[in-house]
Structure 1
Amino acid sequence: MDEIPAPSKTDPPAPYRPGYELVAEQVLKLIAELRLRPGDRMPTENELATRLGTSRTVVREAIKILSALGRVRAQKGRGLYVADDEGMLGSARWSGYFLPTDLDHVYMLFEFRRVQETTASRLAATRATPVELRAIEAAAETCREGHLTGQATLFDRGDEDFHLGIATASHNQFLLAAVREARRLQRQSSTIGLHGTVGGHAAEAIEEHAAIYAAIRDGDPEAAAEAAAVHLDNTLEDYRREIQRRVFG
């Protein structure tokens, strides 16, 4: 049997990791081992300290990290719970940070959406199934019908289905979750910006949707990404004008 060679004296030392970081990792492993699901109650800080052979102070710091990452939820007086799988965007903390009338926040949100949706469109152009293509086409048609008949609710539903349909066709669950959450935050600004109106950028949006769909259907990733970028940039400009008009006069 071959002997395991001793570590070389020239091997670089392992990078230092604070104790609370190691414990945070151990807590995640424990959640998996106990097969806890989102919403399940976790062991208390004292119980975690005993299980992991560390102090309650270190456990508390580890929980702070996991809370910031959206993996653990601490309820005062009730204990620790496995957080819902929403990540930071879905947390109440982020929603509280986002101010729908703050133009800087709206710009940042659209910048984030631009990265997401150009990537999703690029991937959809190479991955979309025939069923997914039909769903995207149908959503675009719903938008068109909503615009032509002056039905804001119908337009909004088609728009939502269109963008989520493309994210679904990217076959990347992380992108889909991110697109869904960014659009949820955008709806907060819609109550001040474009909610209840069918007009403004709506007519152009119909044609922009058609261009995105055509590029995805034709399997042209770069054209799909470019069309998505144009659409997001124009939508942002429409929001900017509306928010400035309604909020700032």
Structure 2
Amino acid sequence: MSDRATLFDRIDRPRRLPDEVAVSISEAIESGQLQPGDRLPTEAELSQRFGVARTVVREAISFLRYNGVVESRRGVGAFIADPSQRSAFRISPACFEKRKQIVQLLQLRTGVQAGASAIAANTRSDEQMAEIESIYARMAATDALGPEAALEERVDLELLLYRTITQASGNPYYADVVAMIESNIQNNLRSAFLKNAAATEFGPAILSEHRAVLDALQAKDSEAARLATRTRFERAAERLVAREDFV
């Protein structure tokens, strides 16, 4: 096993420290730096390495023990558990945190995007509507190929679709917020976002949610555009929350 003295860094953020410690240990396991059967450093050692109180480390280890990630041996210490021996599947702390962040971003985007769509229904030009329809057609074509063949292209076209709708609202503040949300997804959550899209965001039923938004824009029906967009993003968040296998 590699030198464990450099496995963990100090944590400077004051919030949810036990979760941060649990995530860091889980990431060390996922990366192979810690293997099943390896003994974790003592509470005192982990406290010093992370720069947190021993009670924080104790809570983090308790959480990992509950989730079957580590096992305690009386008088010996805590050890990395064998994944094949876990009694039940549970979401890792790292995966749970990513899912929570994506859900929060979807919740934020629901209101922002619904407002932008409502305005765009009244302000969009014929040229902008044609561009929106063209993007949707390309998105539907990649959707038909399935996630195995066209996952990234399909996801990127969906992002482009709603970015273009937002721009059609003519409100740069909506565009700035949407750009911030997209940047967060692309820079911090891209892998998790793609995996979720592959599992829940393909198929005719999903396309119909997007189609309802475009139909409202085409009809220049502001309230219908608001409702269709809100429904689209609320359902996406609900599907994500319902996934027990999210990784």
**What is the TM-score of this pair, normalised by structure 1?**
0.54
What's the % identity of the aligned pairs?
18
Aligned partner of 2:136 in structure 1 is 140
Corresponding residue for 1:192? 192
**2:225 matched residue in structure 1:** 224
Query: Which residue is 1:177 aligned to?
Result: 176
CA drift at 1:146 = 0.7
CA pair 199-137 structure 1, distance change in 2 beyond 3 A = farther
Mapped partners of 2:168, 2:214: distance in 1? 11
C-alpha distance in 2, partners of 1:155/1:223? 25
More helix, by proportion: 2
Aligned counterparts of 1:122 and 1:114: Cα–Cα separation in 2: 12
Partner Cα distance (1:237, 1:179) in 2 = 20
Mapped to 1, the partners of 2:197 and 2:100 lie a distance apart of 23
SS at match of 2:246: helix
Partner residue of 1:109 out of 105, 113, 126? 105
Deviation at residue 241 of structure 1 after TM alignment: 3.7
Name the structure 2 match of 1:57: none
Contact kept, 8 Å, 2:133 with 2:214, in 1: the verdict is yes
Distance 2:246 2:240 in 1: 10
Counterpart pick for 1:121 among 117, 125, 134? 117
> How far has the Cα of 1:106 moved from its partner?
3.1
1:211–1:137 CA distance, 2 compared to 1 (3 A): same
Deviation of the 1:101 alpha carbon: 4.2
Q: Which amino acid aligns with 2:189?
A: S
Is contact 1:147–1:198 with CA below 8 Å preserved after alignment?
Answer: no
- Structure-2-length-normalised TM-score: 0.54
Unaligned 5+ segments in structure 2 are 1-93
Unaligned runs of 5+ residues in structure 1 are 1-98
1: distance between equivalents of 2:127 and 2:199? 30
| Equivalent in the alignment of 1:234 | 235
The change in CA–CA distance for 1:197 and 1:182 in structure 2 (over 3 A counts) is: closer
Q: Aligned residue pairs: how many?
A: 148
- Alpha-carbon distance between aligned partners in 2 of 1:226 and 1:184, rounded to the nearest angstrom: 25
Is the contact between residue 124 and residue 171 of structure 1 (CA under 8 Å) also seen in structure 2? yes
CA gap of 1:199–1:109, structure 2 versus 1, over 3 A, is: closer
Q: Match for 1:173: what amino acid?
A: P
State the secondary structure of the residue aligned to 1:192.
helix
CA distance, structure 1, for counterparts of residue 96 and residue 132 of structure 2 = 31
Q: Is the 8 A contact 2:117 2:222 kept in 1?
A: yes
Contact 1:152 1:196 (C-alpha < 8 Å) held by counterparts: no
Give how far 1:193 is off.
4.2
**Post-superposition offset of 1:226:** 0.4
Aligned pair partner of 1:130 in 110, 115, 126: 126
Secondary structure of 1:245's match? Answer: coil
How far apart, in 2, do the equivalents of 1:104 and 1:158 lie? 24
- Checking the alignment, whether the CA contact within 8 Å between 1:124 and 1:166 is kept in structure 2 is yes
Q: Of the two structures, which has the highest relative contact order with CA contacts closer than 8 Å and spacing of 6 or more? A: 2
Query: Displacement of 1:142 after TM fit?
Result: 1.3
